[in-house]
């Protein structure tokens, strides 16, 4: 029996295949959790970062939200295990497809069909992220550990971008703030995801457990605030896109995973374009109006359930 590292399944190393399976489990758990957390948070009194303990008490006191958070935690455990076995870009490509799971769950739970803009946005986003996976076909997948300066520049730049997104959201106000909180939350989650990969490399990179915690705590906080202003598909959908697209770029740019040439390189460029257009459509005013009506219905149903089941 050859060592596990050399066993292949359809040309894929066994440990990578296990990593892909864990990534699929992770994205399913995480996106179902997003839907549950959204419905619970949308029905709660207003949450605020200015009153963190009060907001935390509201969230921890809601059993539906706690179940969603438990599922999300299970998804993270599977994700961390996947990163220990497979390259960052490949794991993130699998995770990025989670927006399809999110769209399906959202439609099923709310009992309504997706609008045209949402359908096109989700389709383009999934297509783009599938193309990202295809473009990895001839990648060595190995990459390196990256330079400390490059890693810090990437993490700092992502954090700065999140602040800019939040500022734009404050200027636009209303549903635009919910969109900004979802996108900024996704950017901060991407810091946590990239940091998780660095931590699994061990050595001096274990110090990035600090940015891992900061990224996930702030990202989760912003996501809950966004849930009170927009739908799960719009808010968590944008977060999912940012969470997965940026670490794929980080794997290529910072960790040195090679960019393919020829047709595969063109596929990667088209993939990024599709993701951007899909994100714009998901955040369109038409989508925001439709999901706000669905959110009100879901919130009313949740409050009725709480009243009849003390």
* Identity of the highest mean pLDDT range in 114-123, 144-153, 296-305: 144-153
Contacts of residue 292, defined as CB under 8 A and 6 or more positions apart, other chains included, come to 175, 230, 231
What mean pLDDT do residues 177-199 have?
Answer: 91
Residue that the structure tokens 């944008």 belong to? 238
**pLDDT score recorded for residue 306:** 46
With CA atoms as reference, report the closest residue to 99 among 296, 251, 285, 244. Answer: 244
Q: Is the per-residue pLDDT at 98 higher than 80?
A: no
Q: Rounded to an integer, what distance in angstroms lies between the CA atom of residue 115 and that of residue 282? A: 10
Q: Is the per-residue pLDDT at 157 higher than 90?
A: yes
Tokens of 93: 């490509």
Contacts of residue 17, defined as CB under 8 A and 6 or more positions apart, other chains included, come to 9
What mean pLDDT do residues 105-119 have?
Answer: 70
Which helix (H) or strand (E) segment holds residue 12: the answer is strand 12-13
Lowest mean pLDDT among 68-77, 97-106, 130-139, 297-306: 297-306
Q: Rounded to an integer, what distance in angstroms lies between the CA atom of residue 206 and that of residue 220? A: 22
What mean pLDDT do residues 283-306 have?
Answer: 50
Domain boundaries, the chain: 4-308
Phi/psi for 12 (5° steps) reads -105, 130
Name the average pLDDT for the chain: 78
Q: Rounded to an integer, what distance in angstroms lies between the CA atom of residue 158 and that of residue 105? A: 29
Q: Is the per-residue pLDDT at 104 higher than 70?
A: no
What mean pLDDT do residues 154-175 have?
Answer: 90
**pLDDT score recorded for residue 105:** 67
**pLDDT score recorded for residue 273:** 78
Q: Is the per-residue pLDDT at 171 higher than 90?
A: no
């Amino acid at each position: 029996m050859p060592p596990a590292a050399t066993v292949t399944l359809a040309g894929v190393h066994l440990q990578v295949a296990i990593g892909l399976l864990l990534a699929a489990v992770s994205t399913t758990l995480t996106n179902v959790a997003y839907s549950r957390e959204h419905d619970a948070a949308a029905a709660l009194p207003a949450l605020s970062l200015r009153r963190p303990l009060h907001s935390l008490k509201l969230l921890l006191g809601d059993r539906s939200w706690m179940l969603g958070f438990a599922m999300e935690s299970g998804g993270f455990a599977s994700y961390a295990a996947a990163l220990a076995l497979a390259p960052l870009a490949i794991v993130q490509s699998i995770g990025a497809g989670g927006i399809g799971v999110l769209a399906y769950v959202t439609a099923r739970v709310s009992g309504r069909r997706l609008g045209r803009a949402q359908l096109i946005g989700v389709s383009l986003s999934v297509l783009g992220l599938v193309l990202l996976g295809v473009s990895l076909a001839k990648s060595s997948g190995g990459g390196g550990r990256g330079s400390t300066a490059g890693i810090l520049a990437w993490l700092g730049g992502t954090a700065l971008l999140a602040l800019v997104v939040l500022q734009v959201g404050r200027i636009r106000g209303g549903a635009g703030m919910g969109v900004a909180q979802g996108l900024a939350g996704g950017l901060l989650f991407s810091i946590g995801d990239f940091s998780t990969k660095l931590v699994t490399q061990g050595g001096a990179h274990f110090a990035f457990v600090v940015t891992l915690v900061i990224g996930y705590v702030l990202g989760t906080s912003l996501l809950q605030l966004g849930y009170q202003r927009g739908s799960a598909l719009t808010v968590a959908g944008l977060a999912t896109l940012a969470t997965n697209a940026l670490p794929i770029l980080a794997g290529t740019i910072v960790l040195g995973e090679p960019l393919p040439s020829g047709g595969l390189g063109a596929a990667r460029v088209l993939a990024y374009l599709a993701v951007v257009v899909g994100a714009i459509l998901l955040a369109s005013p038409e989508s925001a109006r439709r999901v706000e009506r669905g959110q009100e219905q879901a919130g009313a149903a949740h409050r009725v359930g709480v009243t009849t089941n003390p």
